[in-house]
Amino acid sequence: MAAVSTIIDELTWRGLIAQSTDLDALRAATSAGPLTLYCGFDPTAPSLHLGNLVQILTVRRFQQHGHRPLALVGGATGLIGDPRMNSERVLNPTDVVEQWVGRIRQQLDRFYDFEGPNGAVAVNNLEWTQGMGVLEFLRDVGKHFAVGTMLKREAVAARLAAEGISYTEFSYQLLQGYDYVQLFRRFGCSLQTGGTDQWGNIVAGVDLVRRMEGTAVHALTTPLMVKADGTKFGKTESGTVWLDPTLTSPYAFSQFLINTDDRDVATMLRTFSFRPREEIDALLAAAADRPQAREAQRALASELTALVHGEAERDAAEAAGRALFGQGDLGDLPAATLAAALTEASHVVVPAADVVGGQLPPYDDLLVRTGLSKSLSDARRTVGEGGAYANNVRIEDSASRASIGDLHHGEWLVLRRGKKAFAGVRVERP
């Protein structure tokens, strides 16, 4: 390998290049000097999620190689909706979309450097879209699009074959294509990145820039993350893994990564980690050698949790994990550690009034209160299956109760469902 590794070489060995317009031309362009690139995020939720992080960090890598990113949040495109394979989207109210734009814009702060000569620039496609008239749009932009080509796009074709598609969503591609034109004009942007699902939209933009500006610009997509077990990446049964700490706690975020399947950890590290290649190779060798140590998973979780939530939150999440999964007796943990771990995991407060005669409410009730069980029936079932534990001792009878004397440090009861779901019950003293 050459002494100076280019961004394209780096992305290649990380397996982050799925499709591109002209890779040699792009390699030449990136080597020639700093270029401006963009990857847009539509405000379809109040937060970005782990899946988006693939794109975000790819852009971050470009910035680390001296290129300038445009942090585009789709205030306009988010109002229209990119066609999905399965069904028409429900339009979100404009004020909600506007609020989400702000939140997502803020989240990007963490990953891009907005200072310096190649500092990122925040943009919102509403800027050039909202003032545009229908006739102007149809004449200047619409004229360059062939419906035949648009119909071939995977999501559009799938929708036509099934339930159909509204004109609104069908038009989405024109908006995203026009974004590229605007960013080219305003910032000289010459590269757009995204997931493979965005290839159609991105190429539409490349075409439009060529038609309207007479310049060949670049496109690059990252591969779809596929997990070994076939399930969707970045999702758990309880839903999406969000970057917002109020939607997915740093503890949950960290645990999600620690639980990465052995078969997926190599891809995960290459995709997300900023460690040098030698370190990643060493971690993977360790994982192959001593899988039970879960070194690669821990390193992945540690690095990403710190990146997304900060080092303090990362440390707290790791301490919580060590406390809850440690072999020792929970009672031996210092009160502060236990309290922090349970607060991080999730906990519920039992008011003093609910403690009668030194007895807590029955276990089935507490399992529901902590959210470990979704109903009383569910709680009883779990206890019946032998899957519920209080202070690491199996609960035999769902109607039985813990007493004040059983509490750790006089106030904590640790409930557990199965192996991984913990919740703290903090009992108020009168």
Partner RNA sequence: GGCAGGUUGCCCGAGUGGCCAAUGGGAGCGGACUGUAAAUCCGUCGGCUUAGCCUUCGAAGGUUCGAAUCCUUCACCUGCCA
- Interacting residue ranges for RNA, rule: CB under 7 A: 162-163, 229, 231, 237, 255, 258-262, 291-292, 294, 297, 321-322, 325, 368, 374-378, 380-382, 385-387, 417-421
- Closest to RNA by CB, 119 vs 291, is 291
Q: What token pair was written down for 65?
A: 């190689």
Q: What token pair was written down for 153?
A: 């796009």
- Closest to RNA by CB, 185 vs 322, is 322
Eight-class DSSP state of 396? -
- Closest to RNA by CB, 150 vs 376, is 376
List of long-range contacts for 133-142, beta carbons under 8 Å, 24+ apart:
137/174, 140/212, 141/174, 141/177, 141/178, 141/208, 142/174
**Which has the closest alpha carbon to 208: 183, 231, 227?**
183
Shortest distance, CB of residue 162 to RNA, whole angstroms? Answer: 6
Shortest distance, CB of residue 326 to RNA, whole angstroms? Answer: 9
Is residue 41 within 8 Å of residue 104, measured between CB atoms? Answer: yes
- For residue 221, the cross-strand partners are 19, 194
- Closest to RNA by CB, 176 vs 297, is 297
- Closest to RNA by CB, 42 vs 365, is 365
d(CA 393, CA 391): 6
Shortest distance, CB of residue 398 to RNA, whole angstroms? Answer: 9
- Closest to RNA by CB, 159 vs 270, is 159
Is residue 189 within 8 Å of residue 38, measured between CB atoms? Answer: yes
**Which has the closest alpha carbon to 228: 262, 271, 272?**
262
Residue in this structure with the two tokens 């990564």, named with its chain if needed: 257
Shortest distance, CB of residue 228 to RNA, whole angstroms? Answer: 7
Shortest distance, CB of residue 122 to RNA, whole angstroms? Answer: 37
Shortest distance, CB of residue 109 to RNA, whole angstroms? Answer: 29
